Structure 1
Amino acid sequence: MTILLTVLGIVLFAVGLLISIAWHELGHLSTAKLFGIRVPQYMVGFGPTIWSRKKGDTEYGIKAVPAGGYIRMIGMFPPGADGRIEARSTSPFRGMIEDARAAAFEELQPGDEDRLFYTRKPWKRVIVMFAGPFMNLILAVAIFLSVLMGFGMATQTTQVAGVQKCVIAQSEKRQTCEAGDAVSPAEAAGLKNGDNIVAFNGRPVKDWADLSDRIRETIGPATITVERAGQQVTLHPTLAKNMVAKKDGNGDVVPDQYVPAGYLGFAPKSEIKPLTFGQSVDRMGEMVENGVHSIVALPGKIPDLWNAAFDGGERKADSPVGVVGAARLSGEVLNLDAPTPNIIATFLFLLAGFNLSLFLFNMLPLLPLDGGHIAGALWESLRRNVARVLKRADPGPFDVAKLMPVAYVVAGIFICFTLLVLVADVVNPVKMT
């Protein structure tokens, strides 16, 4: 059954991946056709074509390798200054530029002169290139809202789920007490499983975040009021100073970082609670912020990835994960010892996170990503508007093809990074916890 569920999870993720890619390319396709740009191909996947059908002037198809997709638009780059599109130099960099330019015109047909991508106004080109990532963002938001509001999230409460017997620094990452460990303040004060903490130092407790912050701020004598068997009981612990997990500005735990703070010594009970629309929007905002930080931090994670892939180093929980790693996680999700709704919600969260990553990654202002073409169109608009204000001659379309040597370097870096993540996902994968 474990193998069957693992395979099923991988297959479901592959299907979700194909849908996400097709949805992304549909954004490009629909807006390109809206603005009269000819699109000869709409393909999901790479490699050999396994199915295709032509409708109108566009061939729709599926390719063998479900690792991406594309649409082909006529005239992605403007012709050269002399009006020609063939290579005019033996320079390798010039060759890259003209190869890209020629590919943009290789399916040019009579009547296509008014259906070229580069001839559209910059704002229309921005819309066409932004529409793809935006479709992934729409899908991510729809899934997140459905899960957060319909199912909910694990929320820590002020009810006690377990009492720590002794004081152990969280940085030590051990669970058992050893000789010499001090008795935890919660144990010494008589805190019990099932107690619901309603007040701290005489002030009512709003939620777990409020209680946690107030415990961290307190070292020494304190009073805790708990509800126990229908009665309110007041306890008098003396909070210890301990190394506890660091929290960020959103109240989330920062992995592998610890700070000295007040310590009581109990585990809060978690419950699945649906969020309101406002809470869901706030939560998604945090996810976007964390996603941006993760992308910015990618270069700094390369050494750890290399160690995990080739030197047997630890694969950290926040390590970058590729398509293979995400598929493996999907297989593990279906094997979780949890209620079916929890498993479905976790799988959907994984798929939504993947779509959010596609949006953020594609918005990087680098060719060959969508964000690179958006940046080129915005730069062209700026040049033309400045020329208009200064009453200078129109500088014409910005020749994005001239950036192709840079695009090849960027693509090479992305490919190397993808291969490194792939090796790490195979030999030392991130595990579902």
Structure 2
Amino acid sequence: MEILVMAGQLILGLSILVGLHELGHLLAAKAFGMRVEQYFIGFPPKVFSIKRGETEYGIGAIPLGGFVKISGMIDESLDTAHTNAEPQPYEFRSKPAWQRLIVMLGGIIVNVIVGIMIFVIMAYKNGNTYLAAEDVKYGIVAYDLAKSIGLQTGDKIVKVNGKEITDFNEIRSSEVMLGDNSTYTVERNGNRVDIDIPNDLADKLIDSKGGPSEPFVAPIEPFKVGELAPGQPAEKAGLKTGDFITSVNNVPIQYYHQFVDAMKSLKNKQITLGINRNGTPLTLTMTTTPDGTIGFYKESLLKLTTEDYTFGEALSVGTKRAFQVVFDNIKGFGKIFRGEVSASKALSGPIGIAQNLFGGIWMWDRFWTVTGLLSMALAFMNALPIPALDGGHATILGYEIISGRKPSDKFLEGAQRVGMVMLLGLMAFAIFNDVFKAFF
């Protein structure tokens, strides 16, 4: 069922984004009097189509892209039959270069607008709920990777790159993970210590399957028992929502990471929990699962801060978040080119996107957030100056506008073929990489 949910979210999200992207090309082309022969969401074979005026609108069976076919344009279809005839007034090739440039940028512009709109609406709807750095009163839990760079459990991270932090999540921001020569400043035993962050930290935080590896750091959390999983040992033994776990096999427990550590060596074993229920001490006995769990969700006792945004504030915050996706993509590619992040870990195709971003539970807020992220990423990728992408077409048109010389149809055809080979190779690598990470 989870696979169907992941696939459904991916297909819906991509269909929305590709449909709007291609609509940007279509509207710009029609605005300048160009004939649009086809508008398709998905690639052939054709599933359904309907013709309205001069344009055939349809849906393809492969839901991983789409296309608009404009008369007189050498595109991914590599249809060059028109090159032997005289240009017609309604053809792409007969229009001024500036109009053709706008048509090629139409999809990117629409994706940017859609991405900004989604981030703005989500910011206005949900505001910003976060764990304030000042409310992480007990410091951090440092896991193995964090320990390897010099962090210790109990440290309080107070600065990132010399700047005081207000949101605990700033310690895992793109500025840190994708930046260079970053530092943490921590309070430890009454002193402040600077910790250098290695430039390949992002690579170490990604496991071989392209998802998050082991935890890095977490806040030290006092906790109580939250929702119970039906039929699990905790419920059967009589544990209640709101109980405080005070010990495991007579080992005192105060924080959640202590409980997790205590349970690691207690898989499929009988244990005794000390409980505080409304001020009354109790003892419960149960047998853990083979995974060493008992079946409850923790309820953190750390206070979260929520700030609501006016529409004007949401407009500013949402726009900033949208363009941060582009900046992070640029930083990420820089890390890959410098060898600080493995391409096989960082690059994902449709399977990786479905697994690591959408997930197996349909949550509308997450769906729209991921769709907004993908919209900005799609705009960035299409803007790259690679033949066959919008950015490649735009680069050639920019040359034409500046030089006043139009490249030959033979050159355009050759560039398109090279671009298609590059894109197909990249797509094949991404899909193979997804399959390898999923099954090996």
TM-score with structure 1 length normalisation?
A: 0.63
Match of 2:433 among 424, 428, 433: 424
How far residue 128 of structure 1 moved from its aligned partner, in angstroms, is 0.5
Q: Does the 8 Å CA contact 2:184/2:194 hold for their aligned counterparts?
A: no
Tell me the equivalent position of 2:359.
332
Question: 2-side partners of 1:305 and 1:210: how far apart?
Answer: 25
Tell me the equivalent position of 2:135.
159
Q: Does the 8 Å CA contact 2:45/2:60 hold for their aligned counterparts?
A: yes
Secondary structure (helix, strand or coil) at the match of 1:40 reads strand
Match of 1:42 among 39, 42, 50: 39
Question: 2-side partners of 1:299 and 1:206: how far apart?
Answer: 30
Question: 1-side partners of 2:370 and 2:170: how far apart?
Answer: 30
How far residue 217 of structure 1 moved from its aligned partner, in angstroms, is 4.4
Deviation sequence 1:229-273 (CA, Å, 0-9, x none): xxxxxxxx423647465699xxxx95649xxxxx9x957865554
- Letter of the aligned partner of 1:426 in structure 2? V
Quick check: 1:29 aligned with 2:26?
Answer: yes
Alignment of 1:186-265 (within 5 A): 207-208=166-167, 216-217=184-185, 237-239=189-191, 241=193, 243=195, 245=197, 256=204
Quick check: 1:285 aligned with 2:282?
Answer: no
CA 169–420 in structure 1, closer or farther in 2 if over 3 Å, else same: closer
Q: CA RMSD in A?
A: 4.4
Tell me the equivalent position of 1:388.
none
Residue identity (%)? 22
Q: Does the 8 Å CA contact 1:73/1:117 hold for their aligned counterparts?
A: yes
Q: Does the 8 Å CA contact 2:18/2:41 hold for their aligned counterparts?
A: yes
How far residue 59 of structure 1 moved from its aligned partner, in angstroms, is 0.9
Q: Does the 8 Å CA contact 1:74/1:117 hold for their aligned counterparts?
A: yes
Match of 2:365 among 345, 349, 354: 345
Question: 1-side partners of 2:367 and 2:124: how far apart?
Answer: 16
Question: 1-side partners of 2:340 and 2:349: how far apart?
Answer: 14
Tell me the equivalent position of 1:86.
none
CA 173–295 in structure 1, closer or farther in 2 if over 3 Å, else same: closer
- Letter of the aligned partner of 1:127 in structure 2? I
How far residue 219 of structure 1 moved from its aligned partner, in angstroms, is 6.5
TM-score with structure 2 length normalisation?
A: 0.62
Q: Does the 8 Å CA contact 1:162/1:266 hold for their aligned counterparts?
A: yes
Match of 1:12 among 6, 9, 12: 9
Question: 2-side partners of 1:321 and 1:48: how far apart?
Answer: 25
How far residue 70 of structure 1 moved from its aligned partner, in angstroms, is 0.9
Q: Does the 8 Å CA contact 2:388/2:415 hold for their aligned counterparts?
A: no
Match of 1:117 among 72, 87, 92: 92
Question: 1-side partners of 2:381 and 2:340: how far apart?
Answer: 17
- Letter of the aligned partner of 1:119 in structure 2? S
- Letter of the aligned partner of 2:434 in structure 1? D
How far residue 136 of structure 1 moved from its aligned partner, in angstroms, is 1.2
Question: 1-side partners of 2:401 and 2:429: how far apart?
Answer: 38
How far residue 354 of structure 1 moved from its aligned partner, in angstroms, is 1.2
Q: Does the 8 Å CA contact 1:185/1:239 hold for their aligned counterparts?
A: no
> Which segments of 5 or more consecutive residues in structure 2 lack a partner in the other structure?
177-182, 206-216, 222-301
Tell me the equivalent position of 1:234.
none
- Letter of the aligned partner of 1:54 in structure 2? K
Tell me the equivalent position of 1:102.
80
Question: 1-side partners of 2:141 and 2:350: how far apart?
Answer: 42
